[in-house]
Chains A and B, each alone.
Chain A
Amino acid sequence: MPKENVAIKSENWRLNSHKDLNDLQKDIIESRDPNRLEVVVCHGTGCIANGSPKVSSAIRESLLGAGINVKLMPGIKTTGCHGFCSRGPLVIVRPHGFFYQRVTPKDAEEIVKKTLMEKQPVERLLYKNPKTGKTILTEKEIPFYSLQERIVLHNIGKVDPTDIKDSIASGGYQALAKALCSMSPEQVVKEVEKSGLRGRGGAGFPTGRKWRSALKAIEKKGYPAYVVVNGDEGDPGAFMDRTIMEGDPHAVLEGLIIGAYAIGAKQGYLYVRAEYPLAIKHLEIAMEQAREYGLLGENILNTGFSFDARINRGAGAFVCGESTALFTSIEGKAGNPRPKYVRSVEEGLWGKPTVLNNVETWANIPLVIEKGADWYSKIGVPKSTGTKVFSLVGKVNNVGLVEVPMGIPLVKIIEDIGGGVIGGENFKAVQTGGPSGGCIPYSLKDTPVDFDSLTKVGSMMGSGGMIVMDKHDCVVDIGRYFLRFLEEESCGKCIPCRLGLIRMRKILDGFSSGTGTKQDIDDLISLSQALQDGALCALGSSAPNPILTTLKYFNNEYLSHIENHKCPAGVCKELITYSINADKCTGCRSCARQCPKQCISGDKKKPHVINTENCIRCGICMETCKFEAVIVS
């Protein structure tokens, strides 16, 4: 069936067997000319904000203006985020694979003229390896990509997430067809168990074991049972799940349908935070298209298995990502954690057996089923198989989304893929696992990034946030930031969390204003223990992690705040002073002009001085000075 003829009547789209799916895949691929020019423009939330829609429409206009024969007209494809967000918006021209970065609408004409018509790269838009200074032509050769292992993200940047045909062409729904047509539910569960896949949403619970428990619970209590996608992604700075839902919604959906088949669920829910409108839109489109193709809804692929799903918009609270809070929220009540010592696979939604998995976990399922547990478990390390997607943010050159095999040394992610710290020094610490994780110092840079090794050093995998810090980041300040975040996000139900977080934060406030004591450190540790032991849900009980790890690895920095009233990183305003290095100051007067308190004096062309009494430590002078003459101590 050539592409044009597919869309005759909706009934005709329905796929009734694995063979139908294969035929359709073949038809789509054959109907496409592999040598056809195609311009791919990334349209993730980040780059959309940075103008990628303007880039694609500028390219479209330039193309129309260039008077190319309609038959030879290159296609323009918008895809999900390619992950290299610090370089976006990105434009890739296929089949050559030329990779253009930081593209603006003004570059459109040159891309059309030079690349699309003359088949030549536009040199100035290519990526230059900052370490070697060499210009790189294609995506594959860029270290940021070549060192990754993109299996979960393999479609993102390649397929148009709003077109199911694109997914099908690239192998989408093959795993579902395989499961439904040639595997029993039991075999599916076994395969997932064997793969060693562990949940990507935080705790790293073995997914197969969770599904098995659900089956046991169903045996006891009977149906209905539910499958649920946790797309609440509340960690500050994390955007793995958003990118997957936006860029490859069919993968999440396919995983969910396979899960439903495995446990016999008829209804599923996708709980997505309301702040992710594009993810919701793409999932809605994906579900609609999947229904039209007979991949969702009644009698899927004519196998007799029926399952449907719906989207729930999250209430926008971090704590709603916690399993029991998520269930109460879907049930239409306030999203508070439930105090129950019963596992949610047994008593989940409406008290029924429920499998809740994270977005990325679900997106792994089609891989496990299609390629098999043996293939899957060879990736990564024995107790943490597969890959993990991280959002790499902070003081690192290549901010973005990276997918690496489990067990890779931390330093490789930061230095080789992330391109190291801005300015070229070593990183000071890396916070993994978001506000519930911990801070790993440079001295532990070789720590393998897998569930158990991260826990061993006091941090955790969490959902995959990775914040890189350098010498200008203060551990006390970081701790305050996370505690303030959690204080606002706490549901307030239990006393240790509602009152404890604010008390802990106030102790840190004391450190940063120079009024802390050594007794405060002891209090902090003991209060942390009370939260770990006493809080009702993991928001409260894991909240002390960032504080405890920094106390362990950066004790001297705390002591410096307490004993010397100094903030070595130069962050805690009340503990720092600005001054001017007379040797470097040229007397240009820029700082004096900018200072809001007018406390910088000096004659033109002579070294200036800061009157520290009036100085409010805003740091404007330091930012203004071109000669690095302003110093903070």
Chain B
Amino acid sequence: MIKFKINDKEVQARSGWTVLETARQYGIEIPTLCFHESVASSGACRLCMVELREENWSKLVASCIYPVSEGINVYTETERVQNVRRWIFEMLLSECPSSKEVKEMAKKYGVFKTRFPVQNPNESCMLCGLCTRVCEEVVGLSAIATLDRGVHKKVGAPFLRPTEVCVACGCCVTICPTNAMRSRIDSVRSNTKMQLAKAA
């Protein structure tokens, strides 16, 4: 067993656990968007940041991937942690304003509105990549992927054209934390597959 502290409270974890897993075990809340037990963590949303403090230094790490180790001191609600969260929520409120889930979570952490102009009022995808990871790791198909990079990044089938590879299993729709995949799945499946799925 590995012993360390979260918010000054002694906790114990098994070797190989992450800080997030341990925190959840003890009922300590840390917000997450891109984390899901069934796929590998990608550390993309950065909502789960926590602060590690030692005597003369401190740094922020993503709790969903940070492995526990003996004697570390983790803090989940410091000013720096809250600052990162607040900006992420504000940016998400402007970037994917139609997601109810993001709005609720933001509210829970005290962010009710954004200072940034709303980009596309119908957008709800925040590019967490859970859909592509479940398709690759669980379904084993990689019918969808993240395309392009930076501000131009999006998720979908290659070239944003319907693909034969998709078997319409719906895993991506289920895992999507914002429901964005629901409206997008039809652009992923090719017609023949859709008919098959309907016939079945």
A interface, CB within 8 angstroms of B: 317, 319, 334, 339-341, 487-496, 498-503, 523, 526-527, 529-530, 533-536
Q: How far is the CB of B125 from chain A (nearest CB, A)?
A: 12
| CB neighbours of A341 from chain B (8 A) | 61, 65-67
Stretch at the interface among B3-11, B22-30, B150-158, B177-185: B150-158
Docked CA distance A117–B61 (Å): 70
- Which of B42, B88, B129 contacts A530, CB < 8 Å? B88
Given contacts A498-B127, A536-B44, contact A488 B84 (CB under 8 A): no
- B127 near A492 with CB under 8 A, answer yes
| CB neighbours of B65 from chain A (8 A) | 339-341
Q: Which residue of A lies closest to B116 (CB)?
A: A503
- Which of B87, B126, B150 contacts A491, CB < 8 Å? B150
| CB neighbours of B61 from chain A (8 A) | 341
Q: Which residue of B lies closest to A317 (CB)?
A: B149
- B91 near A499 with CB under 8 A, answer yes
- A499 near B148 with CB under 8 A, answer no
- B49 near A534 with CB under 8 A, answer yes
Q: Is B83 an interface residue (CB 8 A)?
A: yes
| CB neighbours of B43 from chain A (8 A) | 339, 494, 536
Number of interface residues of B (CB under 8 A): 36
- Which of A339, A487, A503, A529 contacts B91, CB < 8 Å? A503
| CB neighbours of A500 from chain B (8 A) | 87, 91
Given contacts A339-B41, A490-B150, A534-B49, contact A496 B88 (CB under 8 A): yes
Docked CA distance A319–B45 (Å): 18
Given contacts A490-B151, A492-B150, contact A533 B127 (CB under 8 A): no
| CB neighbours of B87 from chain A (8 A) | 496, 500, 526-527, 530, 534
Given contacts A494-B45, A499-B95, contact A530 B116 (CB under 8 A): no
| CB neighbours of A498 from chain B (8 A) | 127, 150-151, 153
Q: Is B198 an interface residue (CB 8 A)?
A: no
Docked CA distance A491–B129 (Å): 13
Q: Which residue of B lies closest to A520 (CB)?
A: B115
- B150 near A495 with CB under 8 A, answer no
Docked CA distance A500–B87 (Å): 8
| CB neighbours of A317 from chain B (8 A) | 149
Docked CA distance A415–B151 (Å): 40
Q: List 12 A-B contacts (CB under 8 A).
A: A341-B61, A487-B150, A490-B150, A492-B153, A495-B91, A496-B88, A499-B88, A499-B95, A526-B83, A530-B87, A533-B49, A534-B60
**3 nearest CB pairs, A to B:** A339-B43, A492-B153, A534-B84
Docked CA distance A498–B127 (Å): 10
Q: How far is the CB of A528 from chain B (nearest CB, A)?
A: 10
Docked CA distance A339–B84 (Å): 17
| CB neighbours of B127 from chain A (8 A) | 492, 495, 498
Known contacts A526-B83, A529-B80, A534-B46; 20 further A-B pairs (Cβ under 8 A): A317-B149, A341-B65, A341-B67, A487-B151, A488-B150, A489-B150, A492-B127, A492-B148, A493-B146, A494-B45, A495-B44, A495-B45, A495-B91, A496-B84, A496-B88, A498-B150, A530-B86, A533-B80, A536-B43, A536-B62
- B62 near A339 with CB under 8 A, answer yes
| CB neighbours of B45 from chain A (8 A) | 494-495
Q: Which residue of B lies closest to A523 (CB)?
A: B115
What 0/1 readout, one digit per residue, does chain B (27-50) give for beta carbons within 8 Å of chain A? 000000000000001111111010
| CB neighbours of A503 from chain B (8 A) | 91, 116
Question: Which of B43, B47, B59, B150 is most buried by chain A, counting CB atoms within 10 A of its CB?
Answer: B150
- B42 near A339 with CB under 8 A, answer yes
Q: How far is the CB of B58 from chain A (nearest CB, A)?
A: 10
| CB neighbours of B151 from chain A (8 A) | 487-488, 490, 492, 498-499, 501-502
Q: Which residue of A lies closest to B58 (CB)?
A: A533
- A494 near B44 with CB under 8 A, answer yes
